[in-house]
Structure 1
Amino acid sequence: MKLFNAALLLPAVIRETLAYTALSDSTLRSLPGPGDNFDINNGALLSPILIPRVPGTEGSLAVQKHLTEFFSQKLPKWKVTLQNSTSVTPTSNGKEVPFANIIATRDPPWAHGDGDVSRLALVAHYDSKLTPNGFIGATDSAAPCAMLLHAARTLDEALTKKWESMDAQGDVDDDGLEGHRGIQILLLDGEEAFRTWTHDDSLYGARSLAEEWEASSYSAWSAYHSPLSTIELFVLLDLLGEENPKIPSYFKTTHWAYQKMAEAEKRLREQKMFKSSPNHPSKLKEGEAPKGEPMFLHEGGKKDTDRWAGGFVEDDHLPFMARGVEILHLITSPFPRTWHTMDDDGEHLHMDTVEDWAMLTVAFAAEWMDLEGFFDAGKAQPVKRNIDEGKTEL
């Protein structure tokens, strides 16, 4: 028999607030960008996803292989599983279409079992729309998937160092919060409608996974009763990669988490780490006065009396939200100009913005996982001036 961990029953907002530690300026400056890995033609993370990947097609299988092999070959400490389902769609002529959700999990090495660990879930869908024929879906959501791969790779070594340090110092016990926190990357299939968006023709993978996780019970002695209840926060990235995005705060109950991410964005901008910023050294001319900073997450000061549009935008979070999971929805409003058109391809991505989203996702997840002090801050990226071109660059 294992002692019941009463601390894990604290309300989610209290647990997260207690454990959330901001990264230092030096750590922020040390966070690596994706660089050539986001090259749209041959980048190791992004380019393999920039193909049509409709569920049940060869393109979908190729992207599944790319995503799963990334974890199995590059990040072997992550546990990778597939959650499979099938469904008849309006265009499948009565045939079952296969859907495969990819679940990559990194838990503390001493975790007694899945029911004893809460997790931050970082989520994007990897399928693409059936029409128009040949649709890529770069913002929708190849780029967000690549952002999550970069985040997992960047966080991996710091997680190892943190947990090794906790173990060495004897900080691992059944009453500690930090010893029972992990992280998941959920890459969902079948988000797009095959014909017209309805409750039945959309969110195939998300609906299947939420239903299965709700029905799967852990032992009576576990701190959490189901895989669904282990999700501390469901952070969904969608339609990201266009220039000058605006992300509202959709839900009152997770506005505090939105504010934490907005603060991380503000500090990354102050450290000149945001390439899309008009004040980045590569854009601001010497002697030029600083310009206004256009925040991605622009509603940090939102009040309870303001309009909250949570759930108005239908997306992969809905089946989870309906079952009580807390949601942080990172989706632009308005949608990108290329939304559901053939222009939503690699060439129309704003790559500085894509890299900035990757950096911000890493910073937020690192603060959530309390990883300050476990990155190599000695690798802070210096700012230098390119005299020949008359500009500064990292």
Structure 2
Amino acid sequence: MSPAYRSLSSRIVSLWLGLLLLLIRVYAYEKISNETLNALPRPNDDFDIHNGALLSPILRTRVPGTPGSTAVLNHFADFFRTTLPEWTIEVQNSTAKTPTSKGKEVPFRNFIATRDPPWASAGDVERLTLVAHYDSKIEPKGFIGGIDSAAPCAMIMHAMRSIDAALAKKWSAMKEQGLDEPLEDAHGIQVIFLDGEEAFKEWSDTDSLYGARALATHWDDQFYPAMSEFKTPLSSISLFVLLDLLGSKSPTIQSYYETTHWAYQNLAALEKRFKSLKQFKSSSTDSWFIDSGKDGHKLTPMGGIQDDHLPFLAKGVEVLHLIDYAPFKGFPSVWHTIDDDGEHLDTETVEDWGMLVTAFAAEWMELEGYFDHPATIKGRSDQDSAEAEAIRLNKKTEL
């Protein structure tokens, strides 16, 4: 067999294995019930632009390397340390010269928070990864960036707080049932708030995505122990969900990647269910997800939208890009203007996004039956939860 033929055969085998894994994942994706959707925690006043515990501290200028950036970074750290103490947090640091730094190195700090099953080592955990950038543009002076991307950061924070107790309950049930082997359903979740997405002068390959480029390179060079399930932190990302420019009324979200179109469609299905249950506050009746009815082979090409996902996509990470962009219309009208502030956010849409991201994460992590609300949990013992988890896992293996 020639080397070229062996190489072709290897690629074909890899392709078939990849398709098989995708089919297994789609098959194993367990929907959450309407009861759970109705009972998911709401953000209440957390998205209030003046006093909201999650959003208001982010609504300030936060150019990399400035006191505003440090204040927002501390807000993230304080939130996870006090509200979600079981999460592991870290800051990945890098520096780079920018077109406006006059030869000086500007610091960029990516915030990373991770929640893994307590029995699993890092190299054996596949993680859903929710991402937004937290920096703001240097111009126009005083730019806040409500949709870009203070609100997306707050949405993710709300979602993680909302599912944390259910995660703990699920993993406790798995341990009770003896299902806490290192490779048994080892799925975790991860949050990344990236620094330096915005250009300092004019968008280019070198003047943009500072934090994303640094983190993707760092994780590509960081190897887990030899016998781990995954080779690097990049390969352990099951899905990289990037939220950007979200918080304006009646958003338009396209699907850009065939391999993650099924996840996009699941998100669209959750939106439809929320609306049918009258659990959305915003008045839009049209679906936000305009490609939900399309075949994955017939998606609109990416169209040149550059964002923090690109360095990860280039290294083989699966991406779901949630960005408000309408064909023939473009980005929301406040994009990169001084009007992109808290006052121009549509609060009801922001809250609906928070609920939708919560439901998507809960469904991905298969948390049905683990939320503390009377319709599903009241009177249910840990043994009942453990037995239910054993039945669910058994069904997942029946392919």
The two structures have a TM-score, normalised by structure 1, of 0.88
Contact 1:12-1:232 at 8 Å conserved across structures: no
Partner of 1:344: 340
Tell me the CA shift for residue 268 of structure 1: 0.8
The letter of the residue matching 1:242 is S
Partners of 1:12 and 1:329 lie apart in 2 by 21
Task: Specify whether residues 230 and 17 from structure 1 end up closer, same or farther in structure 2 by C-alpha distance, changes over 3 A only.
Answer: same
Partner of 2:316: 324
Q: Secondary structure at the match of 2:298?
A: coil
Q: Secondary structure at the match of 2:45?
A: helix
Contact 2:97-2:103 at 8 Å conserved across structures: yes
2:74 is the alignment partner of 1:78: no
Task: Specify whether residues 316 and 12 from structure 1 end up closer, same or farther in structure 2 by C-alpha distance, changes over 3 A only.
Answer: farther
Partner of 1:287: none
Task: Specify whether residues 12 and 34 from structure 1 end up closer, same or farther in structure 2 by C-alpha distance, changes over 3 A only.
Answer: farther
Partner of 1:188: 194
Contact 1:56-1:98 at 8 Å conserved across structures: yes
Equivalences for residues 230-241 of structure 1 within 5 A? 230-241=236-247
RMSD: 1.6
Task: Specify whether residues 259 and 378 from structure 1 end up closer, same or farther in structure 2 by C-alpha distance, changes over 3 A only.
Answer: same
Q: Secondary structure at the match of 2:243?
A: strand
Partners of 2:73 and 2:110 lie apart in 1 by 9
Task: Specify whether residues 15 and 86 from structure 1 end up closer, same or farther in structure 2 by C-alpha distance, changes over 3 A only.
Answer: farther
Equivalences for residues 1-394 of structure 1 within 5 A? 12-111=21-120, 113-176=121-184, 178=185, 180-277=186-283, 293-304=285-296, 306-310=298-302, 312-333=304-325, 334-378=330-374
Moved over 6 A (4+): none
Tell me the CA shift for residue 311 of structure 1: 6.6
Task: Specify whether residues 306 and 247 from structure 1 end up closer, same or farther in structure 2 by C-alpha distance, changes over 3 A only.
Answer: same
Tell me the CA shift for residue 173 of structure 1: 2.4
Q: Secondary structure at the match of 2:217?
A: helix
User: When you count helix as a share of all residues, which structure comes out higher?
Assistant: 2
The letter of the residue matching 1:212 is H
Q: Which runs of 5+ in 1 are unaligned?
A: 1-7, 279-292, 381-394
Q: Secondary structure at the match of 1:35?
A: coil
Tell me the CA shift for residue 267 of structure 1: 0.7
Tell me the CA shift for residue 9 of structure 1: 8.6
Q: Which runs of 5+ in 2 are unaligned?
A: 1-16, 377-399
Partners of 2:29 and 2:196 lie apart in 1 by 33
The letter of the residue matching 1:322 is A
Contact 1:16-1:368 at 8 Å conserved across structures: no
Partners of 2:71 and 2:295 lie apart in 1 by 45
Contact 2:132-2:152 at 8 Å conserved across structures: yes
Tell me the CA shift for residue 308 of structure 1: 2.5
Contact 1:19-1:370 at 8 Å conserved across structures: no
The letter of the residue matching 1:34 is P
The letter of the residue matching 2:324 is T
Partners of 2:24 and 2:216 lie apart in 1 by 23
Partners of 2:264 and 2:116 lie apart in 1 by 24
Q: Secondary structure at the match of 1:258?
A: helix
The two structures have a TM-score, normalised by structure 2, of 0.87
Partners of 1:168 and 1:9 lie apart in 2 by 33
Number of aligned residue pairs: 356
| Identity fraction in percent | 58
Contact 2:291-2:299 at 8 Å conserved across structures: no
Tell me the CA shift for residue 306 of structure 1: 2.9
